[in-house]
Chain A
Amino acid sequence: MKRKSPLRRKKKSSSKKQSHHSKTQWFQNLPLMRIFLVILGIFVIYVIYLDYEVRSQFDGRRWSVPARVYARPLELYIGKPLSHEQFNYELKRSEYRLKDSDIKSGDYQRSGDSYRVVVREFDFWDGHQPPRYIQIKLEEGFVTEVTDFRDQTEVDIVRLEPAVIGRIYPSHREDRMLVKLDDVPESLITALLSVEDRDFYSHYGVNPKAIVRAIFANIKAGAVVQGGSTLTQQLVKNFFLTKKKSLVRKFNEAIMAFLLEAHYEKKEILEAYLNEIYLGQDKKRAIHGFGLASRFYFDKPIYNLELSEIATLVAMVKGPSYYDPWKYKDRNLERRNVVINLMHQSGAITNYEALEAKSSPSKVIKRSKTLTSDYPAYMDLLRRQLQQDYDKEDLTSEGLQIFSTFDPYIQNLTEQAVKSKVKRLDQQYNMKGTLQSAVIVTNTNNADVLAVVGDKQPTYAGFNRALDAMRPVGSLIKPAVYLTAIQQKNYSLVTKVEDKAITLKAEDGNLWSPRNYTAESHGEIPLYKALISSYNQATVRLGLELGFEPIVKTLRNLGIQRDIPPYPSMLLGAVTMTPFEITQMYQTLSAEGFITPLHTIRKVLTAKGEPLKHYPVKIKQGIDETSVRIINSALHEATRHGTASSMSWRLPKGLKVAGKTGTTNDTRDSWFAGFSGEHLIVTWLGTDDNNSTGLTGASGALPIWTDIMKKIRTRPLSFAFDDQLEFTYVEPTKGLIVDESCSSAAYLAFRKGQVPEDHGRCPD
């Protein structure tokens, strides 16, 4: 860059000075004028700045709309197992109202075993479902009829729209449902304008007439009864400015309102106002905009509002908490009627309409109180998986719809079981309130996570033990040891193993002599017996025979990603894992060797209903299904004659399940992991500071597990008649074939060619 010589510049300025001498003189003589011009200059710059601010904010405005997390939708079809209790719970959870007659969208009726439900319309990830008029019959715990009650046609399958189970707020806790101006009823707009801003369509952002009018009205009344702010000013106030009241702010507000009007059409400003205005509070959630307010107060889309309802909403613009229709019903009604009168005065409605609307009682819906509990442990898992599986950029967009795998009914059962059982066990074992628990329930067929509890107080959002408690897993690891043996085709469930004292060098160089829980050794026994009775010495001997590497590999193939140190104590579960990791391991067992990562998210849609990158069902065969089926037949036996046999009389007759207890040193941890043909449940009990509890897997975690399993509608475990498998009854001492009638006989799976040939006697 070239610089002009200072000399030349000086010359030029001096000549200029000379030629404008008189003018400069005048200017210098008027310091006031000079100050004025400086101020004017600053003001112009300030206005330009505000203009930039207004335009950039308004053009690039991103409504703060939280992501909504939905439960899984309830599917209704003939053959669906569904009890009256569950159906009523689900209807309540999705905010359906029980009515006697005249049912509309969101209502239901019941007479005996039959229900009529008007299912609300809903945009699912795979298409739109219009409102459905469904008649449904429940008999003996199953859906036996689904028809359209208007035209009596059969309905193959229909979904109840899912309940919202949580919201994820990008920044502050503002919630809204955006509306377009065209969807807003004309009468709502006339009501709003006749109350808040009569001259909206003619002013330029600020309305001096209204201010004067307001001042007179306020003097007359001796109090502030009317405001002079235009809608535009109110919008600016909400949109750009802080809540602080000051003259400077009023000044800014007026300029910004003026600028907003200069740049944008009335229509755009009005639409923004309708979406921005604060209209109520639901605990920590702020209700913004008429779209959500309409749902929140009346459970209706905005275009279905009646006159009296419209007036109620407009009434609340002035002060949503002061005119709260639940808390201050009369005050709200009074204000509503003022709004109706103003509408009448402005000629928007007839006298008759006004009278009718004013005589209408308050129509706000009953607030559901008990059902608003949230699910901190599940939502925590969902949030982590969202961040892990989706692009960060996508997640910052507003108004995402997240469809989860959450099952509200099972979660409720699980919470009840944890709350009552932990309390009782805590008292029984004198734990002084320190006993804690974590439970995870999944679907064995697709690895959907259905319910998560991470605290004995399930709604308490603190330490999430289900995901973060790292605990020794004890005998829960044993199936991996035995599965490793079965995979090496020279082992069967009746191969002999030695349950005999053993001493070996541990990782720290010391000698280690594992003992059995009962301190007894059992000598030579069939392999399955060592597993179902959880004998430590036999397991260690078998593990040493197999070697650590293949066992670690089996654990990896079961979906455990953590590094497992190949030390002898690993064989008895000295490794620490979280309940979630254990669930993944048993998920693979329950899915017969196919690994599917446990997941909470089925689909994520943007606010416009477009799917975000979808991660479809992932599935990989980790271990051949035949080996897993063999181990599962032994784990089923554990629930009949093994460490978990106490459950058998508590479960429904015919419900076959499989599972394994886990107890760690000095009863610090009590575990049970087990599954039916449909559900996997993992339960853990212990204390946060790792104290002894006195509880074994069978006396602590198992009763909670049983409590949940017996209440879930589930399918029994069914054994596959695989081409490569044969089943037979064997006795537990030598593994010889016995008759089915032998009470201690185990029904076990064998590879073809490995079925024991010798018959034995049923031991007493």
Chain B
Amino acid sequence: MKTFNSYFAHIITLILVLSITACQAPVDKTPGWTSESGEVRPGPKTGKAVLALLNKARQASTKGELSTAESHLERALRIEPQNPALWLYMAKLRLYAAKSKEAINLAKKALAMSSRESNLTRSSRKALQADCWLVIAHAHQKMGDLEEAQKAQDKAKSLSY
């Protein structure tokens, strides 16, 4: 169990790093919108607005203003609700705020969304999913459920080879 705990000490820093890399490139895979002409067509990419909000969220979270960061993230999610990176970021914010149960639920949502992302490359999807499982593992560990934590950690490991 000792190795397990020291592993998590590393994970905390790893999550910090990943939260920046995983969110650097948000992906919008909307199949498009219904339009006035009565057809579904994709509009211009919304990634710019989402990145701007993510930047704001990041600035707020580094200052420790978690709820402001969350507000910015909620805005971003309203624009790209099916973007798993945003859900994952939200999960991490909850983890920092010591709300482990909520972090697990959000990470699961991110996982469910990641399987939707048909345009994600196989490797980036796996990295994202591994990250989700790490959040889940960490949250379980915080709640004292080491068995579940171990299971989640194994899943993360199997995804990141």
Contact = CB atoms under 8 A, between A and B. Distances in A.
Interface stretch (A5-13, A419-427, A710-718): A710-718
**Chain A contact residues, majority secondary structure:** loop
A78 B48 contact: yes
A677 interface: yes
A593 B112 CA distance: 10
B35 A594 contact: no
Contacts of A666: none
A156 B46 contact: no
B109 interface: yes
Interface residues of A, number: 51
A158 to B, nearest CB: 9
Interface string B71-83: 1101101110110
Contacts of B79: 75, 77, 80
A594 B111 CA distance: 12
B55 to A, nearest CB: 9
Nearest to B30: A715
B44 A142 contact: yes
Given A80-B43, A652-B38, 20 more contacts: A75-B79, A77-B79, A79-B28, A80-B79, A83-B36, A126-B72, A126-B75, A156-B51, A157-B75, A443-B78, A616-B67, A618-B102, A621-B108, A621-B109, A652-B34, A652-B39, A653-B39, A713-B33, A721-B116, A723-B115
Nearest to A124: B71
A720 B111 CA distance: 12
Nearest to A156: B52
Contacts of A625: 112, 115
Interface in B127-159: none
Contacts of A603: 71
A614 B67 contact: yes
Contacts of B90: 617
B118 interface: yes
A625 B108 CA distance: 10
Interface string B7-51: 000000000000000000000101111111111110111111101
Given A75-B75, A446-B81, A611-B67, A652 B35 contact: yes
7 contacts: A75-B49, A78-B48, A593-B112, A617-B90, A621-B112, A713-B34, A721-B116
Interface of B: 28, 30-41, 43-49, 51-53, 67-68, 70-72, 74-75, 77-79, 81-82, 90, 102, 105-106, 108-109, 112, 115-116, 118
A80 B35 CA distance: 12
A723 to B, nearest CB: 6
B115 to A, nearest CB: 5
B34 A718 contact: no
Contacts of A141: 33, 35-37, 43
Interface of A: 75, 77-81, 83, 125-127, 140-144, 156-157, 443, 445-446, 592-594, 602-603, 611, 614, 616-621, 625, 652-655, 677-678, 710, 712-716, 718, 720-723
A144 B44 contact: yes
Contacts of B30: 715
B93 to A, nearest CB: 9
A677 B31 contact: yes
Nearest to B97: A616
Given A144-B44, A611-B67, A718-B31, A77 B105 contact: no
A653 B90 CA distance: 35
Contacts of A616: 67, 70, 102
Contacts of A602: 74
Given A141-B43, A716-B40, A594 B34 contact: no
Nearest to A144: B44
Nearest to A78: B44
A385 B37 CA distance: 38
Contacts of B115: 625, 720-723
B49 A79 contact: yes
